[in-house]
Amino acid sequence: MMIRSWLRWPRLLAVMLVALALVLLVVLAALISSYSNHREQLLQRAFSSAQSQAFDAARTISRSFTEVMTIASTVSIDLTSGDLPYQDITERLFEEVDKHPDIDGLAITFQPYVYDPAERLYQEYIYKTPQGTFDTLIGASYDYSQPPTDAPDSPQTAWYHGPLANGAMWNEPFFATGAQKVLIEFGIPFYQEVDGEREAAGVVTIDYSVADMRDLVAGLDLGATGYGFVISPSGTILAHPVQDVVATQSIFDYAEAVDNDALAEAAQRALNGEQFHVEMTDTLTGEASWLFFEPVPMTDWALGVVLNQSEYAPDSSQTLREQTTILLVVAALVLIAISLLVRLHRGRKQALWAVSLAFSLIGIVLIVMVWYLANLWSRPGNVIQITSQTALDSYLTNYEERSQLTNGARPLRIPTGVFVQAVQFPDPMSVTVNGYIWQRYPVDSDVQRGFMLPQRIGEEATLDEVYREVEDDQELVIWYIGVTLRQSYNPTRYPFDSRDVTIRLMPLALADNIVLTPDLESYALVTPGLLPGLDPEVGVNNWQMENSAFSYAEVTYNSTLGLAQRADYTQFPELRFTIESQRYVVGPFIAYLLPGVVAAMMLFAFLVNEHDPGEKAELSEALNYAAALFFVIAVAHTALRDGIAAVGLTYLEHLYILLYITIIAIGLNTYVLVKQPKAWIVQYQSNLIVKLLFWPMMIGALLVSTLVVFVYG
């Protein structure tokens, strides 16, 4: 049957729907284009910035090693020109190490019989001992004149024959028995005139510690969590945040082990002098990353720079809004298409019900999609997680420089570790934590041992020292803790809320210049998703532990606490160990959402039930029905609020508020049916208008609520 009272101009309505669809198509195209272009621009800008960082880092390393190469080159030139007589080389070697104490060794090695016709081999080598002093080695300790071969028992003389054959070059890393450390060595030949011809007279070599190279690479400015590594011409890793792979593993062996041909190709092209990059999932951090390879000028090495893409990602809130807006326009287009398909403009009853159902289903899909997108982009981006020594050094550099200016010295770093064995939420605003905390102090430091937990509440707490020992030059102290900590908690998005268990750590000796640092070496893996520092048996009812990590927060105090050394600045990096957890939604859905949905269906069933207009008994029946449903809804609502101790209004409560309003609306509708049966809103087709609008209005209201809470609020 045609609803002629509503749709007097069906063709006009059809034209309007088509015109609206065309407008929305244009809007959708513009939104998608803007979204894509904006992200492309941000990605290009981020990529250029990251590439620039890698380029600058390679030049920084090159400058540092150019200074090392210059020392050896100058000695070589002076030997070749005769400005440095052979009898004065001992004095010259000591002069160089006095002027450049950072080098680990300097040697002059002669060709057979060149230094003294009566002595076949001769070398003078000054090197740094494990104690940091310099010692000398005069004379050849083995026959370095024998060239290396491919045999397993080949003499280790490539350091000498390589420069003679190829000119100035960096050699592969080796373990120096005298210095007891892994070194890399630069060699350059020097010459003499024999019968008017220039012949090689020997090699000048200069040593640089792999540990010093690692410190140099760790000091590069590569963002909060970026890190670098250096590879030799053979692919041997010369510097890397993971010390175990340095000088023991090749980038090519690693690429083969993980079946990553692109990584091997990128490394080889960089060693050939090209700039190259690949996108990969970093095995060290578990994050999507860019890996830039840059040739290091003046050397045959290549620098690899790994940068976390999330540091350069667009703002998550803006991305969520843009994606949701596109979804809304798509949903509107789908609804218009369905309306045209069922010929809504003709006003048939079946078409009206079809559009009502379509609107409701599309609304439900949109709500679920917003839940998904909000969870995808929910994590805040202002917390810097410390997952590597590189990230730690990068973060603390600025504070340490400020501290040096203020106190005349850099702060003492105290490595601190946390291992949580049990977590319990006694109430929404606190957490009880049991586990271990340990710290490492320099043996010769008189700093007071211990830490403070500024969130600690209550009188009952366990804080017992359970172990103490001296390891080399460090003192290890372990405490067992069982404390209740005050926590912040915002249940606004319940049941899609998250809860962080944060342990704030401060040094016990406030007056000392101390900064607590994560003891990263005590963890096998520090990838947040693998839950470092958390016992695998930890389980909290209704909560899923998602990740754990150390982080720093710049805590601002509005007081110096009466300490003179804090008078110049009041911001301090406070070490925090945070466990991020997400609520399981199945329980709250069954306990609180399901009763609400059932109540809504019962209200709709009451609404579609045929009522007798003008019959007063209908009003009494409606009131009784509404009162019974109100009681059920109120009980569930009260249980929800008691369970989470919410102060404001939570997301799931919007359903209950909507149900209260719906109960009142149905009561008013019944009243109009009884008292004003000729009213237009109830007269047509036995209250059809209200029946058609029930689900679209309810789902639409929930959709608006969802958008406000998760997206546009």
pLDDT at site 418: 96
- 307 class by beta-carbon count within 10 Å (0-12 exposed, 13-18 middle, 19+ buried): buried
3-class SS of residue 543: strand
Percent over 90 (pLDDT), the chain: 35
The DSSP result for 654-679, as a single string, is: HHHHHHHHHHHHHHHHHHHHHH-TT-
* Cβ-based burial of 233 (10 A; exposed 0-12, middle 13-18, buried ≥19): middle
Could you tell me which residue, 238 or 206, shows the higher pLDDT?
Answer: 206
Q: Which of 363, 231, 362, 368 is nearest to 306 (CA)?
A: 231
Question: What does the pLDDT read at residue 686?
Answer: 75
- Do 629 and 606 contact (CB within 8 A), yes or no? no
504 pLDDT above the threshold of 50: yes
pLDDT-wise least confident of 209-213, 359-363, 421-425, 495-499: 209-213
Q: What confidence tens digit (pLDDT) does each residue in 28-44 have?
A: 999 999 988 888 887 78
The residue with greater pLDDT, 34 or 156, is 34
- Cα separation, 651 vs 648, whole angstroms: 10
pTM for the model stands at 0.69
Q: Is the pLDDT of residue 167 over 80?
A: yes
Average pLDDT over residues 601-607: 90
Orientation angle between helical segments 10-81 and 210-218, nearest 10 degrees: 140
Distance of CA 70 to the CA centre of its chain: 40
With cut-offs at 50, 70 and 90, classify the pLDDT of residue 177. low
CA distances from 231 to 61, 168, 242, 245 (A): 12, 18, 14, 11
pLDDT of residue 173: 80
Structure confidence at residue 501 as a pLDDT band (50, 70, 90): very high
Q: State the burial class of residue 398 (Cβ atoms within 10 Å of its Cβ: 0-12, 13-18, 19+).
A: exposed
Residue pair 47/290 in contact (Cβ under 8 Å)? The answer is yes
Looking at residue 398, its pLDDT comes to 64
Query: Given pLDDT bands bounded at 50, 70 and 90, which one contains residue 3?
Result: very low
Question: Could you give the CA distance from residue 594 to residue 183 in angstroms, rounded to a whole number?
Answer: 68
